[in-house]
Chain A
Amino acid sequence: MTKEELIAFEEDIATEFNRGKIRAPVHLYYGNEEQLIAIFRDIRPEDWVLCSWRSHYQCLLKGVPPAQVKAEIMAGRSISLCFPEQRIFSSAIVGGVLPIAVGVALGIKRSGGSERVHCFLGEMTAETGIAHECIKYSRNFGLPIRFIVEDNGKSVLTDTRKSWNQPVLSFENSTDPLIVTYQYTTKYPHAGAGVRVQF
């Protein structure tokens, strides 16, 4: 999908949400389309993609038909989208997918498989204990996994750097091949699409 198609998809979801047609939270992306398109050039159909509660773009770029993604969102499952056929798994719990991603990678290695695991996480999640455990374990055992840290500077409205009193985050300038980081600014709030929806 192109940058324009990704933006149009989220705008369609925003419209549906603001009209009160989605009776569950949504977390929308914006401003990171070019970075994600570039990252997905290295992701093959047989690879696994694990995401957080904000995963519409990953699902689309991994090849899930847009109508199928939208149907799941309309059904209220935006924050934990799972598409086994495309090997996508998401969790709405901070850090929840990290050890699961490591387990998938461990299973691939023990089976002698050639698939890889791509685990997306926010910059606040990247500062948690579970992230450090999982990255250390993956690095030390040479697992077929990489972690993509998506830095929008905040967790909900909490400033990550201020709350940790840490101007430069742990993986911000990392040269570790296991870790990819990028920064972006979104036009959407943490949840929803800007209009207060009262159900």
Chain B
Amino acid sequence: MEMLALDSRVLFLGQAVEVPGTAMFNSLKEIALERRLEVPVAEEMQMGLAVGLALQGKVPVCIFPRWNFLLLAVNQLVNHLDKVPIMSNDGYLPKVIIRTGIGSERPLHPQHQHVGDYTEAFHLMCKTVEVIRLDEPGQIYPAYEKALQRTDGRSTLLVEWGDYHNEK
């Protein structure tokens, strides 16, 4: 995340980005507070904010700690962010980096509304947003670097394993 923050266009938004609350916070706590935006629990609005910020020239890193929470933002992800380049004849090319996770199951199993991997389903739903599951630690840095630097006008959805924050 520090690498992303070197780019002045980058802004991190979500829940538990300014304050602790999820495992992902640990990767954000060294980022300057003015580059982190704690937003209300309003997932569709959060994703829409990211799209709008990107239209305005920012590169938002839009964080949903679990797939299950991102499901509440699907309208903005699938109907909007993913379709904007097509709708606008490539006139608008918003670049958003979406960060989500497969809910951890160890040491506590949070039951079925907090776990699950929907990567393949989102592969099928998205025409322009690239969906990448990060299965090994070595994939993480290059994937985020590509998401930031890509010039093809595509946004990127990066899927982390919640359990690996502790285990790998």
Contact check, B92 vs A100: say whether CB atoms are below 8 A apart.
no
Considering the chains assembled together, what is the distance between the CA atoms of A110 and B48 in angstroms? 16
Which stretch from B21-29, B50-58, B123-131, B144-152 is at the chain A interface?
B50-58
Contact check, A82 vs B53: say whether CB atoms are below 8 A apart.
no
Contact check, B56 vs A111: say whether CB atoms are below 8 A apart.
yes
Contact check, A99 vs B48: say whether CB atoms are below 8 A apart.
yes
Given contacts A133-B42, A137-B45, contact A96 B55 (CB under 8 A): no
Instruction: List the A residue with the shortest CB-CB distance to B87.
Output: A80
Contact of B56 among A77, A108, A134 (CB under 8 A): A108
Instruction: List the A residue with the shortest CB-CB distance to B86.
Output: A80
Contact check, A100 vs B87: say whether CB atoms are below 8 A apart.
no
Contact check, A91 vs B51: say whether CB atoms are below 8 A apart.
no
Considering the chains assembled together, what is the distance between the CA atoms of A170 and B56 in angstroms? 30
Contact of B45 among A83, A91, A111, A133 (CB under 8 A): A133
**A14: CB under 8 A from chain B?**
no
Contact check, A130 vs B51: say whether CB atoms are below 8 A apart.
no
Given contacts A102-B45, A130-B44, contact A82 B52 (CB under 8 A): no
Contact check, B80 vs A91: say whether CB atoms are below 8 A apart.
yes
Residues of chain B contacted by A137 (CB below 8 angstroms): 40, 42, 45
Contact of A77 among B40, B44, B53, B87 (CB under 8 A): B87
**B15: CB under 8 A from chain A?**
no
What's the dominant secondary structure at chain A's contact region? helix
Residues of chain A contacted by B84 (CB below 8 angstroms): 82
Considering the chains assembled together, what is the distance between the CA atoms of A22 and B47 in angstroms? 33
Considering the chains assembled together, what is the distance between the CA atoms of A106 and B52 in angstroms? 8
Residues of chain A contacted by B53 (CB below 8 angstroms): 103-104, 106-107
Contact check, A89 vs B49: say whether CB atoms are below 8 A apart.
no
Instruction: List the A residue with the shortest CB-CB distance to B52.
Output: A103
Instruction: List the A residue with the shortest CB-CB distance to B47.
Output: A99
Residues of chain B contacted by A91 (CB below 8 angstroms): 79-80, 87
Residues of chain A contacted by B111 (CB below 8 angstroms): none
Residues of chain A contacted by B87 (CB below 8 angstroms): 77, 80, 82, 91
Residues of chain B contacted by A77 (CB below 8 angstroms): 87
**A69: CB under 8 A from chain B?**
no
Residues of chain B contacted by A82 (CB below 8 angstroms): 84, 87-89, 91-92
Residues of chain B contacted by A89 (CB below 8 angstroms): 55, 88, 92
Contact check, A105 vs B80: say whether CB atoms are below 8 A apart.
no
Contact check, A103 vs B55: say whether CB atoms are below 8 A apart.
yes
A83-95: CB near B (< 8 Å → 1, else 0) gives: 1110001010100
Tell me, rounded to whole Å, the shortest Cβ–Cβ distance linking A54 to chain B. Answer: 15
**Listed A/B pairs (24) with beta-carbon separation below 8 Å:** A80-B87, A82-B92, A84-B92, A89-B88, A91-B79, A98-B48, A99-B44, A99-B46, A99-B52, A101-B52, A102-B49, A103-B52, A104-B55, A104-B56, A105-B52, A107-B52, A107-B57, A107-B58, A111-B56, A130-B48, A133-B40, A133-B45, A137-B42, A137-B45
- Chain A: residues with CB nearer than 8 A to chain B? 77, 80, 82-85, 89, 91, 93, 96, 98-108, 110-111, 130, 133-134, 137
The 4 residue pairs across chains A and B that have the minimum distance between CB atoms: A103-B52, A99-B48, A107-B56, A82-B88
